[in-house]
Amino acid sequence: MATTKTLQTSKSLGIGAEVLRRRIGRAFLYILLSAIAIILFTPFILAFFGTFKTNAEVIAWPPSILPEEWLVENWAELWNTDFGGLPRPEGATSLGLMAGLFSFFVVFLLTGLTGEEVGKGIPRRIGLSVSILLAVLAGLGSAAYLSLRFNPHTIMLWTVGISVTIFSLIAVGILAISRPDWRRVILSMLGSLALGLVVTLVFEFLANTAGGGRFIRWMYNISLLSIIRAVTMLIFSSMAAYAFSRLKFPGKGLLFGFLLATMMIPGALTLIPKYVVIAKLKWVNTAYSLIIPSVVDAFGIFMLTQFLKGVPVELEEAAYIDGASFFQIYKDVVLPLAKPALLTLFIIQFQGMWNNFLDALLYLNTPDMWVLNVALSVFQQQYRTAWNLILVGAMINAVVPLTIFFFFSRYYIEGVSYSGLKG
């Protein structure tokens, strides 16, 4: 009996020692990881507190963490920075027109299709013809709007008008394959075009109100360009990915292989040809140069294709049996299931545009069209001794993408793991 109790006591002590060793090991691991995180985060901490220091304190050695005197006015001084110049109508109109085209495209796709054609509405040939006519009128209206706002080059009128027409025709074509109620499509298109015009006027007014070479204008430029470019790329990439992952059509494998091959081409190799094309289109120093050529992305299509291949086909087959069209399945079934991958791609593309320096430096060359990265580089050249103000701008430039990443980090990790890109 005593032997049994002794064995039980020894066993309990052994288990307790093992548990204690595990807890000590886990605590040591947490302390080690926390120390590494603090070390890696130290430059960011020093940069943040440097925004409240004098310039002499920023460059002093050894560096101090906290400032001797908190200069909150550093932030206001950078915010009131003005490189001079008035907002150009070409730049403000391009920002407004891109915002209007984006809102039209999204709203039209969301509202133009709610159910199938029941036979009492407008016939398909009439509805499709009217929709195509409205798309052409949208392009002509965009060119006319540019002519009213300033005196654009003829090539710009044609290229912008054709681009708006193509976007409108793509939206009409997407709904046309879904057997819609054409009366609703026409009404939705008219309403979306009216909304696009209002959005164009509002965002052009905001651009003019923000001024020329001012800090608030640079923030406005980069915020608007990043959101429009990321969401537009998300829409077109997801549509292409759905086609590659689900639909069967001749040459699909060849097209997908060509798509992957384009990812291997260095960006520097296409830099000069791309600039030549943009210059020939008269899009230099406008928002068109950074948004329209970037509506699709090979990496985004590849990533979403890999993700959608893992989505159960049975859900789409059930929707198809219930009478849903391809676009309805894409909008109501595929997109909700692909939310982790979509948010992952949004974060990647938003951060890519927000931190894009080379393209913005190449295509946007007046103070009213600068983005924050370009403005900070010019600011550093002209105010080399104002390191505290440069740190303020760098902190503002970093805090936006960091905030978005922290809010959606869970979806980012899920999207990367599900799409087969981890490791």
Residues 361, 377: Cα–Cα separation, whole Å: 10
What is the maximal distance between C-alpha atoms in the chain? Answer: 104
Residues 359, 171: Cα–Cα separation, whole Å: 28
Residues 316, 305: Cα–Cα separation, whole Å: 15
Q: What is the mean pLDDT of the chain?
A: 83
pLDDT digits (tens, 9 = 90+) for 285-334: 999 999 998 888 888 898 888 888 887 888 777 877 777 777 788 888 88
Does the structure show a pLDDT above 90 at 225? yes
Residues 149, 244: Cα–Cα separation, whole Å: 42
State the DSSP code for 214.
B
Does the structure show a pLDDT above 50 at 423? no
Q: Name the region of 422 (left: φ>0; alpha: ψ -120 to 50; beta: rest).
A: beta
Paired residues of 214 in beta bridges: 82
Higher pLDDT, 342 or 113: 342
> According to the model, what pLDDT value does residue 206 have?
93
Which residue ranges does the chain devote to CATH 1.10.3720.10?
234-423
pTM, two decimals, is 0.85
CATH topology of domain 234-423: MetI-like fold (1.10.3720)
Please choose, from the candidates 70, 10, 377, 374, the residue with its C-alpha nearest in 3D space to the C-alpha of residue 225: 374
User: How confident is residue 422, by pLDDT bands cut at 50, 70 and 90?
Assistant: very low
Q: DSSP string of 330-397? A: IIIIIHHHTHHHHHHHHHHHHHHHHT--HHHHHH--SGGG--HHHHHHHHHHH-TT-HHHHHHHHHHH
Across the range 84-97, mean pLDDT stands at 88
For residue 33, the Cα-to-chain-centroid distance in whole angstroms is: 32
Residues 374, 390: Cα–Cα separation, whole Å: 12
Percentage of the chain beyond pLDDT 90 is 28
State the DSSP code for 180.
B
Paired residues of 82 in beta bridges: 214
pLDDT digits (tens, 9 = 90+) for 130-144: 999 999 999 999 999
pLDDT digits (tens, 9 = 90+) for 53-81: 887 777 777 777 788 888 888 788 777 77
User: How confident is residue 419, by pLDDT bands cut at 50, 70 and 90?
Assistant: very low
User: How far apart, in Å, are the Cα atoms of 380 and each of 81, 183, 287, 344?
Assistant: 13, 57, 24, 33
